[in-house]
Structure 1
Amino acid sequence: MIQIEMLEKYDAVRRLYKKSEIIFEKDNFATHYYQIISGTVKMNNFNDEGREFVQGFFYEKQCFGEPPLFLERTYPANAEAVEDSELICVSKANFLKLIAENPAVSIIMIENLARRLHYKSVMAAEISTQDAEHRLLQLFDYSIAYFNFKKEQEGFHIDLTRQKMGDLTGLRVETVIRAIKTLEKKGELKIVNRKVYR
């Protein structure tokens, strides 16, 4: 994403968030650009019954929650630290100034937003029409590219917990576990020391 040195030129501030701490809440107006130095953040919301729906997970060197900065809209979801995390934050005014003064950064942001929109379009179609095995394979293939999972001897390590897989596909953890076992039998993936490889 954006180099930390560049963000610091626009008065960036580093902030520490504890595990489960809320970074911002749904329906609040966007005030800052956030980029992860270390840790993991999830964006989520809840239905009327209190069931959590995870919009996505974000990791080191990724940003999150920036679309409302361009739209004068509120956040469509909450952001929560999944683990102790260090973020670098830039005020909205300074972030928009950074974008205006650095066209190369604008291209980076456009590419990032386009990648996320593509992912959401693909996964929305999968969740509404496809079975569990197909949903998981789509998630794995997209995650390999989007999260830059490393290729190891056994294949690409899908570095997501079973819970995260369920959160991102709308499946229960038990369904994820069954589907993974079935996919292993079909030769679509490998399980080595409880780790999933594609």
Structure 2
Amino acid sequence: MKTISCMNIDENLLRSFGAEDKTFKKKETIFNEGDHAMYYFQITKGKVKLNNYNEDGKEFIHNVLGKNQSFGDALLFLNQYYPMNAVSLDNSEILRLPRSQFMEMLRQNPDLSLEMNACFSQEIFYKLKMVQSMASQNPIQRLTGLLNYLKSYHGNDCAHSFPIEFTRQQLASLVGLRVETVIRALKKMEKEGSIVFKDRKILY
């Protein structure tokens, strides 16, 4: 299935509406859960992790995003608070555009709104597919649903080209399985050819 790499707006266009270049060090927080949504963020270098922590301090990772990808944009339309944290995984460079200028950019460039709607629709589609997979008792089906969802953000249909940025324990937490079950399922998926292991990384 063809996917759309959400969302990559021309950097010159962003800067023409007042976007500023921000640098974040490794492990530095970009925003916290509960902060008011004030900016459109687009990564020009590095990686960003979106996460939460439960009451026991256990981390839940929503996604890991890289160069040319955006985050936090959907909440700008709701005028809401961030339901997650954004943390820089590497030394990262990010374009940050204030909400008012972001809205003005969309008003002057309506085609961007159409592209953004397509991205939001894609995200909802893959989230629903992932939720459907989570209802399965089959560990491989659960993992496949999760991997498809993660890969959908990167617009890459090639097999074994997408690196999974999660540990086995994190994958287990995301799909609600024991880590031993996930390890066995991944080995079976490797035998079936749906994933490959390279330098201890999973390629999907």
The normalised TM-score by structure 1 is 0.86
Task: Quote the offset at 1:144 in angstroms.
Answer: 4.3
One of 135, 139, 153 as aligned partner of 2:142: 135
Task: Quote the offset at 1:174 in angstroms.
Answer: 4.5
Q: How many residues align?
A: 195
One of 103, 114, 124 as aligned partner of 1:107: 114
Aligned 1:45-194 pairs, distance under 5 A: 45-149=52-156, 151=158, 155-163=159-167, 166=171, 168-171=174-177, 174-191=180-197, 194=200
Residue identity matched to 1:182: K
Q: Distance in 2 between matches of 1:172 and 1:101?
A: 50
Retained in 2: the 8 A contact 1:25–1:78? yes
Q: Distance in 2 between matches of 1:19 and 1:173?
A: 27
Task: Quote the offset at 1:197 in angstroms.
Answer: 4.6
Residue equivalent to 1:21: 28
Q: Which consecutive residues of structure 2, in runs of 5 or more, have no partner in the other structure?
A: 1-7
| Structure 1 pair 185–158 and aligned structure 2 pair: CA distance change class (3 A) | same
Helix, strand or coil at the partner of 1:16: strand
| Structure 1 pair 195–21 and aligned structure 2 pair: CA distance change class (3 A) | closer
Q: Once the two structures are aligned, what percentage of the paired residues are identical?
A: 33
Task: Quote the offset at 1:191 in angstroms.
Answer: 3.6
Retained in 1: the 8 A contact 2:134–2:145? no
Task: Quote the offset at 1:76 in angstroms.
Answer: 1.0
Task: Quote the offset at 1:88 in angstroms.
Answer: 0.1
Task: Quote the offset at 1:94 in angstroms.
Answer: 0.4
Q: Distance in 1 between matches of 2:37 and 2:166?
A: 31
Task: Quote the offset at 1:133 in angstroms.
Answer: 1.3
Output the aligned Cα RMSD. Answer: 2.4
| Structure 1 pair 145–187 and aligned structure 2 pair: CA distance change class (3 A) | same
Q: Distance in 2 between matches of 1:117 and 1:109?
A: 12
**In the TM superposition, what whole-angstrom CA distance separates every residue of 1:5-32 from its partner, at most 9, and x where no partner exists?**
1001101100011111111111111111
Helix, strand or coil at the partner of 1:19: coil
| Structure 1 pair 39–174 and aligned structure 2 pair: CA distance change class (3 A) | farther
